[in-house]
Amino acid sequence: MRKQLYSLMETEVQIASPCEAELQELMHQIDIMVSNKKVEWERKMRALEAKMDVRDQELAEAQSKLDQKGQEVGMLRQKLENLQKTKYEMVKNYEAQLQALKSQFSKLTHSYEKLQLHQLKQDRVQDKERGQENQEAPFEFSNLNQKLEKQTQNYQFQISSKKQKKDDTITSSQPRVEKDEFIIEKLKFTVNEIAINRNKLEEENLKFQQELKMYQKQCQNVEAGLSEMKNELQTRDALWKGVKMECQQLRKELLKIGENRNVQENQMNLQSACVQRVEDLENKKTELLALQHHQKSQQEDLNKIRDHLYLEEQSHSSEQKRMRTEISDLTKKLHQKEITIATISQKATLLERQLKMELEIKRKLLRAQQLLGLSYETIKPENTHLKETMENWESRRRMNIDLPNKENENYTTSIHQLESENERLQNKIKLQNDTETSLLPRLDTYEETEYTSQAQMEEKEERNYQNENEWQMKQTQTATAMFKTFRCFQNPSPTSHGQGDIIGSESSSSLPSHRLSSDQEQNLDGESPSPPMAYTSNVDKPFPGKERIDVLLSHIYSTEENPLSPPEMSFPTTAAEKFFEEEENRAKEFEELLSSHIEELQRHSENTLKKYAWLMHNRHV
């Protein structure tokens, strides 16, 4: 039995060793996975840092370009302001010249009206004085013609002077226009590189549009004035039909007005150039929008990268949690296995104790049966001797009728006592045989169950590597079944308990008679019943029917019978406790290693995140 228990302990140790190997393999796989994740994380972080550096360089270049273009735009603004100032001055000059022309034209019209009135008066006077002064008429006409010629000469001189002034202004304005065209070309060349913020460009565009509207209104006013001038000239041409010289002068003035129209055409060209500038500005707006979209796409890429980093952090944390859960599950499984091993070892120790107790009970019963047989054989000749004495006493009584009645009563009482003792001994032998026959099949069934349990244990040990969980369940089921069967063997039938009580009472009542009857019974009864009681105290009374069996056999046991030594009982328990303590220490060390490894991973991830946040902060700054 001890060999079987040692084999069970060895199988349990072998079962624990593959568990440790599996745990070591799991730890190795976990370390490999963690190292792979670290390498992937570092690669991704390096790639992200390289991308961020490239993006930062691009942003710095874009900012430098924007600064350069801002400076160029400032220069262009200054140039535009200077051009606007020159244009404004030229417009003022043209307006002053137009006002002077208008004033001169009004003076001419006023003088012409005066001349017409004077001529009408003269015509009237001439009509009146024709009859009186027919001789003086040619002299007056000659005077009038001279006056008109003088006036026409004066007008021609004024017109020529005005022409010279206008030619001078035109010649002075032509290099300015060329300069303006050259500046406009430069502006066209530089406007293609402008990249200013949207709000500033819109404000400037609004200003330019307002200024263009003002220029357009002014041009419209000038055109309206010119149209009015044309109408006035047409009316005056109708009035000046009589005066050819004045009409020629007016035609010359109209030519000058045509020159003014050329100036207006130049202004229109300037307006078209301004429109082109506006278009260029719109193109630059589109470019700015494209740049803004590009910046937005870059920001979206950065957000995606941040989201990807956040997801990777979450996945890393989830993997850490999963590893922790797996480790906790493994520790729980280890604890469960330790608990099952402890329960199996406890049950094995209990089974060993119970088997030892049953074997000792069987030995005691056999010894009691042998002693009862010996007592029966010793009592048989006594019974025959008593029968012979009874027959002799009866023959004597028949022969000696005059014996006293007291002696007869004594003889009858002694005879009845002997008969009762014979009946009691016979009943005792029968009960002993019955108890032995009832215990033998139970022991046989227990041995069979023990053999079957050993076979099942061997099969389960062979299947342990295939399905460990099923093996544990079957182990527990078989252990519970064995425990239940042993409890059934432990609790005998009530009839046997009753028989034990009867036998105990009969044995306790019959002890004095045996002491009186024979010397052998006196020797047996002289032995104290303390050894079986002491045995029960040492074993801690695991069976409920043991006290009754010890009471039944208390007059048989000798002092030579000794109980089991407690070290032999406690040896497997101490070994199992040591094994469990070692397993617990190993599990604690394993948990400490895992916790330290997880803490190192967390610290590494926190440091990487802090570095990335610091880099991002510096880049933004």
- Give the confidence band of 477 by pLDDT, cuts at 50, 70, 90: low
- Please say if the pLDDT value at position 67 is more than 70: yes
pLDDT, one tens digit per residue, over 1-17 is: 555 555 655 655 555 45
- Give the confidence band of 523 by pLDDT, cuts at 50, 70, 90: very low
Q: Are 446 and 485 in contact (CB under 8 A)?
A: yes
User: Is the C-alpha dihedral spanning 511, 512, 513, 517 positive or negative?
Assistant: positive
CA 124/CA 120 separation, integer angstroms: 6
**174-178, 472-476, 548-552: segment of lowest average pLDDT:** 548-552
CA 498/CA 431 separation, integer angstroms: 11
- Of residues 138 and 275, the one with the higher pLDDT is 275
pTM: 0.22
- What pLDDT does residue 397 have? 63
Q: Could you tell me what percent of the chain has a pLDDT over 90?
A: 0
- Please say if the pLDDT value at position 82 is more than 70: yes
Query: Burial letters for 5-39: b for 16+ Cβ neighbours within 10 Å, e otherwise?
Result: beebbeebeebbeebeeebeeebeebeeebeebee
Query: Burial letters for 444-462: b for 16+ Cβ neighbours within 10 Å, e otherwise?
Result: eebeebbeebeebbeebbe
Show me where the domains of the chain are located.
354-572
pLDDT, one tens digit per residue, over 239-277 is: 666 666 765 776 777 788 778 788 888 778 877 877 887
CA 26/CA 28 separation, integer angstroms: 5
What's the mean pLDDT in 46-64?
A: 81
- Give the confidence band of 236 by pLDDT, cuts at 50, 70, 90: low
- What pLDDT does residue 136 have? 52
Q: Is 239 exposed, middle or buried (0-12, 13-18, 19+ CB in 10 A)?
A: middle
- What pLDDT does residue 199 have? 64
- What pLDDT does residue 491 have? 44
- What pLDDT does residue 177 have? 61
Q: Are 378 and 520 in contact (CB under 8 A)?
A: yes
- What pLDDT does residue 555 have? 41
Q: Are 389 and 449 in contact (CB under 8 A)?
A: no
pLDDT, one tens digit per residue, over 83-123 is: 878 878 877 877 787 788 778 777 877 877 887 787 788 77
288: CB partners within 8 A, 6+ apart: 195, 196, 197, 198, 201
Residue of 611, 553, 575 lying closest to 365 (CA atoms):
553
Length of the chain: 621
- What pLDDT does residue 409 have? 60
Pick the most confident of 46-60, 117-131, 137-151, 603-617: 46-60
DSSP letters along 575-598, please?
Answer: HHHHHHHHHHHHHHHHHHHHHHHH
- Please say if the pLDDT value at position 486 is more than 50: no
CA 609/CA 616 separation, integer angstroms: 10
- Give the confidence band of 363 by pLDDT, cuts at 50, 70, 90: confident
Q: Could you tell me what percent of the chain has a pLDDT over 70?
A: 51
- Please say if the pLDDT value at position 425 is more than 60: yes
What's the mean pLDDT in 218-226?
A: 72
- What pLDDT does residue 449 have? 54
pLDDT, one tens digit per residue, over 38-48 is: 888 788 788 87
- What pLDDT does residue 134 have? 52
- Give the confidence band of 453 by pLDDT, cuts at 50, 70, 90: low
- Of residues 141 and 376, the one with the higher pLDDT is 376
- Give the confidence band of 325 by pLDDT, cuts at 50, 70, 90: confident
- Give the confidence band of 459 by pLDDT, cuts at 50, 70, 90: low
- What pLDDT does residue 370 have? 76
Q: Are 271 and 212 in contact (CB under 8 A)?
A: yes
CA 594/CA 414 separation, integer angstroms: 89
- Please say if the pLDDT value at position 292 is more than 50: yes
Pick the most confident of 99-113, 191-205, 214-228, 457-471: 99-113
What's the mean pLDDT in 370-389?
A: 73
Residue 527 backbone dihedrals phi, psi, to 5 degrees: -75, 135
Hunting for tokens 């949207």 — which residue is that?
198
- Of residues 436 and 554, the one with the higher pLDDT is 436
- What pLDDT does residue 562 have? 42
Give the mean pLDDT of the chain. 67
Neighbours of 579 (CB within 10 A): 18
CA 540/CA 287 separation, integer angstroms: 100
- What pLDDT does residue 559 have? 38
**98-107, 331-340, 573-582, 595-604: segment of lowest average pLDDT:** 573-582
- Of residues 217 and 193, the one with the higher pLDDT is 217
Cα within 13 Å of Cα(302), Cβ side: 16
- What pLDDT does residue 194 have? 60
- What pLDDT does residue 215 have? 65
Q: Are 521 and 473 in contact (CB under 8 A)?
A: no
- Please say if the pLDDT value at position 519 is more than 60: no
- The packing angle between helices 244-399 and 566-620, to 10°, is 180
Hunting for tokens 């007291």 — which residue is that?
406
Alpha helices in 463-529 (DSSP H): 468-490, 494-517, 519-526
- Please say if the pLDDT value at position 508 is more than 60: no
Which of the 8 DSSP states describes residue 527? S
Neighbours of 502 (CB within 10 A): 14
CA 57/CA 36 separation, integer angstroms: 32
- What pLDDT does residue 496 have? 40
- What pLDDT does residue 314 have? 84
What's the mean pLDDT in 281-299?
A: 82
- What pLDDT does residue 436 have? 55
284: CB partners within 8 A, 6+ apart: 191, 192, 194, 195, 196, 201
Cα within 13 Å of Cα(44), Cβ side: 17
